[in-house]
Structure 1
Amino acid sequence: MLWPATALAATTDGSEQQEAVVTLAEAAAVQPPATQTLRGVVDSVDERSDTIRVRLSPDRTEPFRVQDGLLFNAVRFGDPVTFSVQTISGFQTIVGLTKE
């Protein structure tokens, strides 16, 4: 993959070419997904679709995917929870959860 601002040309000095490769590698480095911490109350647990619905406020309930299926054994309807969420493959995914 070439970036529009990067031009590759034959050089007599190998260090310039090495610098270009390092710059491309740094640009292509994968950044870890941002983690968001939320609090709410478990509204439903759906193991078939690997989701837990959490009531974040009185008028807002959202579904979240679960990264670790063992969470289904740890929570029930009505449990207050604090959980960490990352967007993984386009889905809001619970990557950590604690009951309050």
Structure 2
Amino acid sequence: MAALCGAVLWPCVALSAPADVGQEQEAVVTLAQVVAVRPPPTEMLRGVVDSVDEGNDTIRIRLSADKTEPFKVQDGLLFNAVRFGDPVAITVQNISGARTIVGLSKE
């Protein structure tokens, strides 16, 4: 019975093998390139909400006594979560050339 199954299935196995070893290696290289894609680096910052500008999708954070910086907001629901004066910890990524808040927690 095993010999019969082998005789029937052998042509299918032979047909499913890659026709060109170069194609197989190219597929492995392409897969390796996809796996090598890394998420953008993140930065953790702490500060106090200085202003909220929902019309421009930005929140301005006071990072120190003399430094205030605007950040784009990835998720518009953050506008409902913070108010002027709230101490926050934010996670920032550079998305499309703009420093963008991708995570926020109140402290």
Q: Following the alignment from structure 2 to structure 1, what is the Cα–Cα distance between the partners of residues 99 and 47?
A: 15
Q: CA offsets, 1:45-99, max 9 Å, x none?
A: 0000000000111111111111111111111111100011111111111111111
Query: Which 5+ residue runs of structure 2 have no aligned equivalent?
Result: 1-18
Determine if the alignment matches structure 1 residue 52 to structure 2 residue 47.
Answer: no
Q: Following the alignment from structure 2 to structure 1, what is the Cα–Cα distance between the partners of residues 48 and 73?
A: 15
Determine if the alignment matches structure 1 residue 85 to structure 2 residue 85.
Answer: no
Which residue type is aligned with residue 61 of structure 1?
T
Q: Which has the higher helix share?
A: 2
Equivalent position SS for 1:93: strand
RMSD: 1.7
**Which residue is equivalent to 2:46?**
39
Aligned residue pairs: how many? 88
**Which residue is equivalent to 1:18?**
24
Q: Following the alignment from structure 1 to structure 2, what is the Cα–Cα distance between the partners of residues 61 and 18?
A: 53
Which residue type is aligned with residue 54 of structure 1?
I
Judge which range, 88-97 or 21-30, deviates more: 21-30
User: Percentage identity across aligned positions?
Assistant: 65
Report the structure number with the largest CA radius of gyration: 2
**Which residue is equivalent to 2:79?**
72
The two structures have a TM-score, normalised by structure 1, of 0.76
Equivalent of 1:27 in 3, 24, 33 = 33
Query: Which 5+ residue runs of structure 1 have no aligned equivalent?
Result: 1-12
The two structures have a TM-score, normalised by structure 2, of 0.72
